[in-house]
Structure 1
């Protein structure tokens, strides 16, 4: 049975959990990181020298970096489901994953989401937060027309690109921030919300992570 190391409130762990359940793969999840600690042990450093989550163990093989884990699982176990058969579709899915990491992730998770839950309202830099949220909205305006005319990012079937970007969308659409009109992104998010694995792992109540005064 596979082992997934990481707390389930981490969006990077959540997207791996989403994949595992989409593919019906058995696994054991082990709480580490955040309030659980455990990242500074020699044992964990052997799994991931960066001492971050998540890490996946599949037999005697281990891999870290959530995007790499998602793509490993999709290719190894998701042929015909999360791993497109066509090489050009896979290339486009990889393109959008890389775009998300380079153009969305830091501004959304680090510069928008974390200040809203880990910084008190009195100490928060509202101007910087609003500017980051605006940049995220502009990035999603690039994604919006790419979703027009089909159900998912690279066609009408869920792929690893939908996992990578879709894992952020519940937080994006439920945070108290300004958002531009994104009709096709919002329709896509609506389709993701119908999936049981998305409901279970992504649509968590993130407000439980807020510090007092945030």
Structure 2
């Protein structure tokens, strides 16, 4: 069995999802820097692996995969991070899909304007609306954590906590006005106790 290789820079939250998953599973891997400041994802060699020109890409003996949440599912299949039971797995994937759609949509404009300084994302009204939507979405997650009292899918740590734990990290370390959500604060403190999370929750890289 070949050691999998991850293509992508560690400043990407989507790359860090995959790396955290690999570390939680204690799997050996290699990594190459691709993306902003490194090898261009517009390179034909990269586009042949992911036509979207986005990181991460996973390469193993079966070929290539892209889309961070899909890669995480692939790696975690057959492990406690992704339960085999139909209902239990659906709950984990429900929250993973929510992260990729509703939550990411909420923060996108604010993060692009305030952190990435992306041209075209500097309108104050749109940034303010994005911050408000971001806080509302995080309030929904806080309510879920109040209900479970532990992790996103219930009592056990799962893939849902990997993708959403890094989302909480981004929210806490971005230069925005945040609503105080106590359950999120306690949840983040629990995640920080995990060595695999501590390695990828870099304060200087939201």
- 2:124 equivalent among 126, 129, 138: 126
TM-score normalised by L of structure 1: 0.87
**Per the alignment, in what secondary structure is the counterpart of residue 26 of structure 1?**
coil
1:1-214 matched pairs, under 5 angstroms: 1-76=3-78, 79-80=79-80, 82-108=81-107, 110-119=108-117, 124-148=122-146, 149-206=148-205
**Conserved in 2, the CA contact under 8 Å of 1:18 and 1:202?**
no
- The higher-RCO structure (CA 8 Å, 6+ apart) is 1
Distance 1:114 1:180 in 2: 20
Distance 1:31 1:134 in 2: 34
How many Å apart are 1:19 and its aligned residue?
Answer: 0.4
**Conserved in 2, the CA contact under 8 Å of 1:75 and 1:83?**
yes
Describe the superposition over 1:154-182 as per-residue Cα deviations: whole angstroms up to 9, x where unpaired. 11211111111111111211222122231
Distance 1:47 1:152 in 2: 34
**Per the alignment, in what secondary structure is the counterpart of residue 59 of structure 2?**
strand
- Unmatched segments (≥5 aa) in structure 1: 208-214
**Per the alignment, in what secondary structure is the counterpart of residue 29 of structure 1?**
strand
RMSD: 1.8
Distance 1:42 1:124 in 2: 32
> 4+ residue stretches of structure 1 with deviation over 3 A?
none
- Unmatched segments (≥5 aa) in structure 2: none
Distance 1:193 1:143 in 2: 18
Distance 2:167 2:192 in 1: 12
How many Å apart are 1:204 and its aligned residue?
Answer: 4.1
How many Å apart are 1:103 and its aligned residue?
Answer: 1.1
TM-score normalised by L of structure 2: 0.90
Distance 1:57 1:133 in 2: 36
